[in-house]
Amino acid sequence: MASPLNRRHRRTAPYVIMNNNTQLPAVAYSARQPDQENSANSNNGIQILTNTPLEQPQQEQMQRAALSLFDLVRRAQRIRRWMRRNQEHHELPERSDSFLEKFVPATKSQSAQKEQSKTWVIDPSKTFYYYWSSIVSLAVLYNCIMLIGRSAFLLLQERLLIVWLIFDYLCDVCYIVDTFIQTRRGYLEQGLIVRDITKLRKNYMRSRAFILDLISLLPTDFLYFVPKLRLVPALRFNRLFRIYRTFEFSDKVETQTNHPNVFRLVSLLIIIMIIIHWNACFYFIISRWIGYSTDGWVYNMTAPTAATLTTQYLYCFFWSTLVLTNIGEVPPPETDIEVLFVTADFLTGVLIFATIVGNVGSIIASMNAVRADFRQKVDQVKQYMVFRKVGKDLERRVITWFDYLWLQKQVANEDIVLGALPQKLRVEIAIHVHLAALKRVPIFAEAQPGLLVELVTRLKLQIFSPGDYVCKKGDIGKEMYIIKRGRLSVVSDDGTKIFVTLEEGSVFGEISILNIPGSKTGNRRTANIRSVGYSDLFCLTKQDLWEVLAEYPSARDTLIERGKAHLRKDNLLDEEAAQRAQQDEAAIPEKVTRLEGNIDNLETRLARLMGEYTANMTALGQRLQTVEKLAVPRRETLSDEKLSRKNTLDVIGVETHEDDV
């Protein structure tokens, strides 16, 4: 096959027009004609085609088909290269961590890591596993309730046999899928989810859950083919070994729900109902084994409606409830088996009754723990006010304030409640609760994110009663306030005239805590602000603000400049005083430098004096040593002369004393 022409020639390639006579084909060109030079080149390029006679029309068609196929392949290759370049352009390169690479084994390649990251592993903390556990729990509860019920009440098994078989095998499918999911269930190792399938499978197979799951999946349904055991529901009792998944799901729900006490109460009631249900089924099974209506204790089938399924189950459930709760009277047992069964029921009933009382009491105590603690605080305050003989009006205001706290669910101390959380989570909660309110402050609207994060953790909630003054004119400003809920009024000195009303989101007192130099009001309040009703305010103290600004000097300068701009608008800034303060602040580095120089000079002089003192002490020590060396021989000579004189007097016979010698 002839090679195709180049790109230019293909664009102006001739198409052949065959006439009815088998003559040389006429050559025609497309409407897009190039210039004369290109046309000449095209004519030269196709000269061979025009001068070569065609043997058959089929040969020309094959050539054109080959050219079209080749052109299609070239276009496909061009599109593929474009897609590859586009993919490489949009795909972000992986960043290698040189620190982590030191601890990665050399045999583990990057391709293996990518393959491992793509492996489907289930995180137990995610919502998928949570909802899947709920489905498995429903399947387990179905088996727990219906298997014993169908085994006891044969009418229930016979009437809906097809339905029960469908549900049975749907539960089996759920069990099989759950077993597969357990092999992909991740676990934490060194704080990370393990994603190695081999390790996950080995960890599951070494656990007790694997044994229980394996027993629950045993195909005991094949015993249905035994004639005597045909469709007996009791053959599926091994499905109950997976009941641990229900308790696992219950623990997870209790942890995640916002009403754990209600869930505990509902769970307790469900467990009690299941126990009563099983005991009712056992009673009916024993009655059938002994014989219906054979004595006064077993189920009586002679009643008009005793043969109906509803009557049978309701009576057995009623009998089981009376026995297990030790309430009411039941027919006394007459045979040994009946006595043993009733005795076991009584013992079980005592345990159930104790469990009910204990758990319900604990749940109620947990539900009322917050209210009991709040009431204890209120009682303590009441006793204190009675002891100190506080006036009735003030006592009423205090009690009303406590009532408002309880109605607004603000009885808990946030610091104590969030104290169990790590610092990171506390900061995130504070950002979620307080950041929007803090951004309403004009001077903090464009502050650094780090500064805002530090400030939100220091906002405190304060509640003011109706008529309480938040601040008065002339007071030293130590806090700024953000209104969360309620209304405040700016009033005159006597409180009779209202100038303006501040509502939710308003901010006041932010200028007084900045210590702006040159402010005509200093750090004092310029208005009287009174709470109209109950008001919830976020408070930021001056001490907390400046502790944070000490770590953000640039933000401190920015806030001060914004505060000055606000004061200029109200004509409350003394420019000369502000300029002097700025000059003094600018001269501080020079003064500090001069002071450091003086300190260095003093240290030099002190070092020189210490050197001289050390040298003098050394010279004095040497002189004392010389004097001691000269004094020792002289002392020995005097001692010898004294001893000789004493000996001479003793020879003569004159009594002497040491002092006389």
Output the CA torsion 279→280→284→285 (10° steps). -30
The residue type found at 492 is S
Reading phi first (left if > 0) and then psi (alpha if -120 to 50, else beta), residue 409 is in left
- Max Cα-Cα span within the chain: 185
Distance of CA 358 to the CA centre of its chain: 33
Q: What is the CB neighbour count within 10 angstroms for residue 276?
A: 22
**What is the chain's Cα-based Rg?**
50
Q: Are residues 191 and 298 in the same domain?
A: no
Instruction: For residue 155, tell me if it sits in a domain.
Output: yes
Mapped onto helix, strand or coil, the DSSP state of residue 220 is helix
pLDDT given at position 87: 52
Residue 406 lies inside a defined structural domain of this protein: yes
Q: Are residues 388 and 486 part of one domain?
A: no
**Under 8 Å between Cβ of 260 and 254:** yes
Residue 456 to residue 434: CA distance in whole angstroms:
6
* C-alpha span between 319 and 315 (Å, rounded): 6
pLDDT-wise least confident of 24-38, 343-357, 617-631: 24-38
Query: What residues contact residue 388 under an 8 Å CB cut-off, 6+ apart?
Result: none
Give pLDDT, residue 85: 64
Judge whether 73 lies within some domain.
no
pLDDT at 5: 41
% of the chain exceeding 70 in pLDDT: 79
Question: Is 376 part of any domain?
Answer: yes
Spatial CA neighbour of 521 closest among 579, 480, 473: 473
Alpha-helix residue ranges (DSSP H) falling in 537-574: 542-549, 553-569
The answer on pLDDT for 199 being more than 60 is yes
Q: Are residues 324 and 265 in the same domain?
A: yes
Percent of the chain whose predicted confidence (pLDDT) is above 90 = 25
- Residue 164: pLDDT above 50? yes
pLDDT at 20: 41
For residue 604, being part of any structural domain is answered with: no
**What is the rounded CA–CA span in Å between residue 192 and residue 173?**
31
**At 146, is the pLDDT very low, low, confident or very high (cuts 50, 70, 90)?**
very high
CATH number of the domain at 465, please: 2.60.120.10
CA atoms of 443 and 560, how far apart (whole Å): 9
Q: What is the pLDDT of residue 177?
A: 95
**Domain check: are 561 and 459 in the same one?**
yes
Residue 495 has pLDDT above 90, yes or no: no
Pairing of strands 535-541, 460-464: antiparallel
Whether residue 287 is found in the same domain as residue 202: no
**What mean pLDDT is predicted for residues 361-365?**
79
Identify the domain boundary among 217, 238, 256. Answer: 256
Of the listed ranges 99-108, 435-444, 507-516, 586-595, the one predicted with least confidence? 99-108
Q: Are 564 and 558 in contact (CB under 8 A)?
A: no
Residue 423 pLDDT exceeds 60: yes
Given a cut of 50, whether residue 288 has pLDDT beyond it is yes
Q: Which domain holds residue 276?
A: 258-411
pTM given for the model: 0.59
| Confidence band of 281 (pLDDT split at 50, 70, 90) | very high
Residues in Cβ contact with 649 at an 8 Å cutoff, skipping those fewer than 6 apart: 656, 661
Amino acid at 188: L
**Where on the phi/psi map is residue 530: left (φ > 0), alpha (ψ -120 to 50), or beta?**
beta
Please, what is the average pLDDT of the chain? 78
Averaged pLDDT for residues 132-157: 94
Contacts of 562 (CB under 8 A, 6+ apart): 442, 443
pLDDT of 561 reads 81
Whether 103 shows a pLDDT value over 50: the answer reads no
Q: How far is residue 60's CA from residue 18's CA, in Å, rounded to a whole number?
A: 11
Q: Can you spell out the DSSP letters for 567-617?
A: HHHTT-B-HHHHHHHHHHHHHHHHHHHHHHHHHHHHHHHHHHHHHHHHHHH
Q: Which amino acid is at 488?
A: L
Q: Residue 206's pLDDT is what?
A: 92
Q: Which of 66-80, 117-131, 256-270, 587-601 has the lowest mean pLDDT?
A: 66-80
Of 382, 411, 440, which residue sits at a domain end? 411
Residue 296 lies in a domain: yes
Whether residue 424 sits in one domain with residue 566: yes
* Domain count for the chain: 3
Residues 270 and 403 in one domain: yes
Do 476 and 547 sit in the same domain of this protein? Answer: yes
Bridge partners of 462, per DSSP, are 537
Q: Which residue has the higher pLDDT, 408 or 513?
A: 513
535-541, strands of its sheet edge to edge:
460-464, 535-541, 479-485, 507-508
Instruction: Please determine, for residue 378, whether its predicted confidence score (pLDDT) is greater than 60.
Output: yes
At 16, is the pLDDT very low, low, confident or very high (cuts 50, 70, 90)? Answer: very low
For residue 55, what pLDDT band results from cuts at 50, 70 and 90? very low
Structural domain contains residue 590: no
Question: Based on the domain organization, do 296 and 397 belong to the same domain?
Answer: yes
Higher pLDDT, 437 or 527: 527
Decide which of 510, 545, 573 is a domain's last residue.
Answer: 573
Q: Which two tokens stand for residue 388?
A: 């100190």
Q: Do 394 and 438 fall into the same domain?
A: no
- Alpha-carbon distances of 633 from 284, 636, 642, rounded to whole Å: 126, 5, 14
How would residue 299 be classed by pLDDT, with cut points 50, 70 and 90?
A: very high
Residue 537, beta-bridge partner list: 462, 483
Domain co-membership, 422 together with 555: yes
Give tens-digit pLDDT for 33-51: 444 444 444 344 333 333 4
Q: What is the pLDDT of residue 46?
A: 37
Flag whether 17 is in a domain.
no
Say if residue 231 is in the same domain as residue 274. no
pLDDT at position 181 is: 93
The tally of CA atoms less than 13 A away on the side-chain side of residue 29 is: 15
Q: CA dihedral defined by 479, 483, 489, 492, rounded to 10 degrees?
A: 10
Is pLDDT of 457 > 90? no
CATH of the domain at 299: 1.10.287
Q: pLDDT: is 402 or 56 the higher one?
A: 402
